[in-house]
Structure 1
């Protein structure tokens, strides 16, 4: 159909979203390639979550035998024709270890012989008329380019959200991805964790038994998954610190705003907070300082790397610059440039798009949309008997 291009589809990233789309394209016999900068698929799950435990359910026993019903409780498996290629065969744990998901996804890529080119980083994506040019570089520094009709960004969590421009001194803090996991270093120390999501409370829980005092600070109301029904909000398995706080066990949460961080002569980190006191006779800000041995920034992720696009491609950012602006079919402002995977949650917060059990179906839907758009294939449909 598109003889002027090398590939009809280029997928950037071999995480669960990239592999799921690659599977559908492979089954359809399309010309596609997946570029992955690492030497294996889903390398993210070798290191994240930092504690090693997923918060995606792996509920194997559900009483009923219907496969579709059971898939609703299997939050990690990708879709395929092979009924044996299920994540439930890799772990019996309700909250499994991330390393098992890493192994499963690599086995999935190998089982279906998906066209993944590893150790190949996408350096720049440009577009002229209706054709994308994707320039890549391998580990030896060799660069190549290919032409594509459609580009699917499956890059997942790209970088941590570290707003140093908003909090002077934030560069003095450790980050979720890079903080030392040796609990002995934090023994009987004062730790401040900045953030109100799963990464912040996962970190707080991890150090709760070794640290003297752990404070978790956030400047807006915590979104609990049991209230919002969104899987990406704070899950019960991570909120032990809140339990300890209410049981007066030293660890605590602080509903304040971090203003700045400075290091004093003793090497401690002095953090300035502020609270808006609306109940005062003259409402105003209350400022106070606290001293910590360690400060760890756990403020979530950004899902877009705008540096990979040249000026011919427009990707508008939303939600504080963390997500791409997407249409109702997950397309950016640039035609035939899509984001798939966890970035799909930018427009589907009320659904399950935050992880595999939701976006695997989104991706299947997008696959059919693209096949219809690019190759005029009919959309899946059912013809019901006409009522007379």
Structure 2
């Protein structure tokens, strides 16, 4: 039984790539970020629709599903409005995108639905409405917060994952890794060539590290794996960290540790001062390739057609916002197990 999917909010293709690794065919992805068109299409052999989900119709998406296929509608609405860092801010217009996801479910009536987002979404009425509407429409729904190391990812990301089916009870596959088996930063990126700050590897334009100012070079040399800026000599400590408002931000300007999973990758993960994004042993921030691998993209995943097309902010956005490929694979495996139980 062929499962065919469409990926809403597809970005650079992390969810699509993971689904395809399990044998699910993904025909198209939808996203407003035009920078994602090249990586999405070249790595996934699928059509990229440069549109807002609010502007697309179910009829348009139905054209991608062949007759007789099991229809999957997948997506990860932008998570920033629901993130803990956005709590207390005015309501973001992107909240409404989850309602458009629900609208498209009504118009398409897919056999399967999956979505992924930040755990904080569980607290919001918009998600409870989304889930209740699925149940009222005859879907079996399973959701849980996934700790990525439990499924073989070298990153301490936590994500809310939902799977739903109109064909019977569905579940998310159990954890594949015990804590003693967690993948580490060393497992993920130690094989990559060394770089200096500001360098680009000649064989891989994505293996590039941001430059460092003279004081930040001194800071990273004074940084310990899993340490904080409190380990530095006083003359290197930034003035903002001496204020009460800055004392709690201990992970900024931090190094990762080789023997542990990495912190969550963000859109700013290529900047040493933006979090614990310092390389464990080299005096630089992690490269874009290293960040992509920690997001479980394969080493060969292409993000830009040529070196001239590489823009650091766009790369950071695509990598940090991506659904980890392995998480897409976990969803795909859950779907495949579900189909086994109903056939």
TM over 0.5: no
- Select the structure that is richer in helix: 2
TM-score by length of 1: 0.26
* Greater radius of gyration (CA): 1
- Select the structure that is richer in strand: 1
